[in-house]
Amino acid sequence: MIGAGLVGRACAWQLVRRGHEVLLLDPLQLESDRRCDSPPDTGSWAALGVLMAQVFQRSSGRAWRLRQRSLELWGQWRQQLAERGKPLPWRPGLLLLASSANELERQQRLVAERQAMGLPLELWSRERLHGLAPALPEAALGGLFSPQDGQLDPAPVLEALLRDGLERGLQTYCDGATRLERSPAGWTVQTRGGLALPAEAVVLCAGVASAALLEPLGHHRALEPVLGQALELALAAPTRWTGPDAGMWPGAVVWQGLNLVPRPDNRLWLGATLEPGDRPEPTALAALRNLGGQGPTWLQQAEVLRQWQGHRPHPIGRPAPLLEQLEPGLLLASGHYRNGALLAPATAEWVANQLESPTGAPLTKP
C-alpha cells in the first residue's frame, strides 16, 4: 500500500481486517508512537471532513453509488472502531445555503426528488435561517438541510485507522516509493532508502505522486494539485451554537462552496479555497475570511488562531476518483479531489473486493 493519507489508511485497515498481510509505505506517516516527520501538506491533513452524500446533485451513476455506500460504511466503521476503544468525532447535520434564485430552485427540485426516494432532506426558509445564531449571510435565500450528512474530524480518523490497523497486524515503513517494477512473483517497489520491497499486489493511494510512479509502466494518469487554504477562528463572544434546539445551527454550514464547521470551545473551521497549483494566494485567503464579501459581523470579528493549507489531487480528463485495476496486482485508488474523507470507505471496499476476486472483476460495482 503506497500512501498513508486517509484513503490509504482506510484501504490498509480494510485489508488487514479481512486477513491480508499489508505493508503501508509512506515517508510522512505515523509509526507506532513516533512520527516519521511532521504532518504532510496534503489533502488528508488539511481536510475539514465535511461529508456530502445525500445532498449530491446526481441521483445515479458511479459517483452517486460511491457516496451513498461510503456514508453507510462510515456509520458501520464508527461503530466498529468505537467498540475497539477508538471513537470518531462525528457531527451529524449539514445545511447548504442558497445564494441565488437558481440555486434555490435546484434545492427545491432536489428535496422533492430525495423525499420521493425516502431520504429525509428538508427545505429551510429564509425566515428560518435568519432566526439562527450566530447569524448566517444575509444574502442566503433559503437552505437545504440533510440530517444524515455531516462532518467527521480527519485527524482522529487518521489516527484511529492506523492504530487499530497496527493492533490487527498492519506493518508500516517510513520511506517513499520511487519506482514500481514487474516481477515473476508480482511486483517490486523501489524506495528512496534503497530498499527493494517484494509484493504480490500494489495499491497506489499516493495522490498526485501516483502519476509519476505509473508513467514508466506505460499508464498515463494525469493528476494536478489543487491547493486549499483553511482557517480556525475563535469567536469573540461565547456561543452555544449547535444542537437540536430552535435557533441553533443544525451542524456544518456550506455557503457558495465554503464550509463553516462548528468546533468545541467556541471555535470555527472555515475553508477551503480552490486554487490551481501549489502556491497559496493571499487574495483567496482574504475572500475566504470574509465569505466573498458576505461575512456576518461576528465572523469578521473572530480571531484567527490557525491557518493551514493542503493539496488535493484532481484528475485531468477523467472523473474523480480514479479507481482502476491497471494490471494484475496493480490497483490505482487516487485522485479523490475534494471527497477523500467521504469516499475512503467505499474506496477501501472496492480495493479489497478487487484483490479478493479471482477474475480481478469488482465484486461491488463502483
Nearest to 355 by CA among 157, 164, 206, 201: 201
Q: Which amino acid is at 359?
A: T
User: 312-333: per-residue pLDDT in tens?
Assistant: 999 999 999 999 999 999 999 9
- In sequence order, the 6+-apart residues with CB closer than 8 A to the CB of 31 are 172, 173, 174
Helix axes 340-356, 61-83, angle to 10 degrees: 90
Rounded distance, CA 342 to CA 345, Å?
8
Distance from CA of residue 350 to its chain's centroid? 16
pLDDT at 46: 73
User: 237-248: per-residue pLDDT in tens?
Assistant: 877 776 667 789
By CB atoms closer than 10 A (0-12, 13-18, 19+), residue 27 is middle
* Run of H or E including 253: strand 252-255
Rounded distance, CA 27 to CA 101, Å?
48
pLDDT at 362: 43
User: 125-160: per-residue pLDDT in tens?
Assistant: 999 999 999 999 999 999 999 999 999 999 999 999
Q: From 3.50.50.60, 3.30.70.100, 3.40.50.720, 3.40.47.10, which CATH number describes the 6-47+156-223+317-356 domain?
A: 3.50.50.60
Q: How confident is the model at residue 363 (pLDDT cuts 50, 70, 90)?
A: very low
Grid cell listed for 223: 493528476
CB 73 within 8 A of CB 121: no
pTM of the model: 0.94
Residue 360: pLDDT over 60: no
Domain ranges of the chain: 6-47+156-223+317-356
Rounded distance, CA 112 to CA 110, Å?
5
- Cα–Cα distance list, 330 to 210, 219, 237, 284 (Å): 12, 11, 53, 38
329: helix, coil or strand? coil
CB 50 within 8 A of CB 71: no
